[in-house]
């Protein structure tokens, strides 16, 4: 599983303040379903000639072609690779998750926001499994 994240508790006030509107960003399940379906279509279209369907199926040799990074995102990933002592496998997993996050916008190039979010998805596996 490439996604593993710890989610902190949310206060009651954040969810249901006195005005009844709540401060937390609300995305309906239907809206999220549309975002995910669109990202899936982007991936199916991207890989239709490669015999793949999803970013998770990318081979290491395909990462450079299908996961273009902005220069800033590349620097961020390099720093994370060193600081977090990522393995080659971990590095590729972060890139594939970042590609998926970018696809949800949709965005062709992976930027620092995508890399940062993908790195956050590794926080719990580092904490629990020390990988």
Between these two residues, 4 and 96, which has the higher pLDDT value?
96
pTM: 0.79
- Answer whether residue 124 shows pLDDT above 70: no
Picking from 55, 50, 51, 53, the residue whose alpha carbon sits closest to that of residue 104 is 55
Between these two residues, 13 and 38, which has the higher pLDDT value?
38
pLDDT-derived band at 41 (thresholds 50, 70, 90) equals very high
Q: CATH second-level architecture of 27-129?
A: Orthogonal Bundle (1.10)
The pLDDT, as a whole number, for residue 121 is 86
Burial profile 67-99: b = 16 or more Cβ within 10 angstroms, e = fewer = bebeeebeebbeebeeeeebeeebbbbbbbbbb
Picking from 128, 86, 45, the residue whose alpha carbon sits closest to that of residue 115 is 86
Torsion angles phi and psi, residue 130, rounded to 5:
55, 45
- What pLDDT, in 10s, does the model give residues 80-117? 999 999 999 999 999 999 999 999 999 999 999 999 99
10 vs 110: CA distance, rounded Å: 30
- Residues 55-63, mean pLDDT to the nearest whole number: 95
């Amino acid at each position: 599983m490439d996604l593993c994240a710890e989610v902190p508790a949310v206060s009651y006030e954040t969810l249901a303040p006195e005005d009844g509107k709540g401060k937390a960003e609300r995305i309906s399940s239907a809206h999220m379903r549309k975002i995910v379906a669109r990202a899936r279509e982007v991936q199916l279209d991207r890989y239709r000639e490669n015999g793949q369907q999803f970013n998770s199926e990318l081979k290491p040799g395909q990462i450079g072609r299908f996961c273009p990074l902005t220069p800033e995102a590349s620097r961020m990933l390099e720093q994370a690779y060193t600081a977090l002592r990522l393995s080659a496998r971990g590095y590729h997993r972060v890139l594939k998750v970042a590609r998926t996050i970018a696809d949800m916008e949709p965005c062709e190039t992976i930027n620092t926001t995508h890399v940062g979010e993908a790195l956050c998805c590794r926080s719990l596996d580092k904490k629990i499994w020390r990988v």
